[in-house]
Amino acid sequence: MYYTPSIGNFANFPYNTLMIVFDGYQFAQEREDTLKQRVQILSGSIAIAAILFEEDKGSQLYTRLKKEAAERVGIRYHCLGFSMSDDLGKVLAQLKTLNEDSTVTGIIIQKPARGRWMEVTGKRADEYVTWWHALVSQINQTKDVDGLHPETLAAIQHGTWKQEKKVMPATVKAVLEILNVAKEQVTLPADPIYIILGRSDILGQPLFYELRNQGQKVEIIGSKELTTRVQSGQSLHDADVVISATGHPHLIVGGMIKQGAVVVDVGEPQPDVEFATVAPKAAFITPVPGGVGPVTVVSLLENAKVLAEIH
């Protein structure tokens, strides 16, 4: 589940010979193979309905990848396209239909990039937040396959999501799985310090709450806190594990991390991490593409299987 200095696209890279580059494609394939066997037991009764906004190219790409993976494991994946400028009521009406459809196991709304949404609609950033909340809060919680509903985040915060029969957001689940691999492959301090960059409700916040509830030392920061850290000379040198999901390409460079850190890059579609300077210092790193992304896709499908079993 990792590249060595002489393999693949990294063959000519000046590696730290002890550094591991996580292979998300291979890891995801292994999980797909296992999932396919379990889906077959359920006789193909799992179906995901995805709402996407067609002006966002990223949403189109991610939806295509998820649909292809779903078909490989025997899960039906139905896509419903809308414009970002469509009346909110039109989308909510479709959500209501999906909520009431007993053949739909899980519902996902592909979140468009905020900047693209503002460009298409001509509206403000605060209106984007309100619009998104209005959508995800209407997902039937028994079908919340990507953990988007606000009450799912609250359950994760309180550590009750399993008891409440909810699933972890797919990207959070993917990062947690990757961290487990990292712990098996590299030596971390007995009480490692985690720093998460980015406070999104899809990754940063739920990941923070879950790690905190596991008893980990974890801090979540935004761009202002990172700037302050860089200006003070601290940067991210206190972090044994850095997880970045800011959407700012090459925000993290080699001089900002400690030698031997674990670095998980959740940047999409461009990496948050400047691989060329960070990789030689890292003990374990995820590339973009080919790191967190493929694992997120299979994690979503695993969530659908869980929902099919518990509801």
In this predicted model, what pLDDT tens digit does every residue of 61-82 receive, in sequence order?
999 999 999 999 999 999 999 9
8 A C-beta contact, residue 273 and residue 287? no
The whole-number pLDDT of residue 306 equals 96
Across the chain, where does the E strand assignment appear?
2-3, 20-22, 47-53, 76-82, 106-109, 193-197, 217-221, 241-244, 262-265, 284-285
Residue 3 is predicted with a pLDDT of 46
**90 burial level (CB within 10 Å; 0-12, 13-18, 19+):** exposed
What's the length of the chain? 311
pLDDT score for 10: 47
Q: How far apart, in Å, are the Cα atoms of 24 and each of 18, 100, 159, 305?
A: 19, 35, 28, 21
Q: Tokens for 71, please give them.
A: 């078909």
pLDDT of residue 44: 66
Quick one: which of 97, 105, 167 has its CA closest to 138?
97
Cα 185 from chain centre: 22
pTM summary value: 0.94
What is the distance between the alpha carbons of residues 308 and 41, in angstroms, rounded to a whole number? Answer: 12
Q: What per-residue confidence (pLDDT) applies to 12?
A: 47
The answer to whether residues 17 and 283 touch, using CB atoms and an 8 Å cutoff, is no
C-beta neighbour count of 26 within 10 angstroms: 14
Give pLDDT, residue 18. 66
Q: Among 58, 75, 201, which residue's Cα sits nearest to residue 135?
A: 201
Question: 88: which 2 tokens?
Answer: 């909110």
Sign of CA dihedral 199, 200, 203, 209: positive
| Spatial separation of the C-alpha atoms in residues 260 and 243, rounded to whole Å | 14
**Predicted pLDDT of residue 6:** 31
- The Cβ of residue 253 has, within 10 Å, a number of other Cβ atoms equal to 15
The first and second tokens of residue 15, run together, are 């590696």
Which regions of the chain are under pLDDT 50? Answer: 1, 3-17
Identify the DSSP state of 252: B
pLDDT tens per residue, range 231-272: 999 999 999 999 999 989 999 999 999 999 999 999 988 999
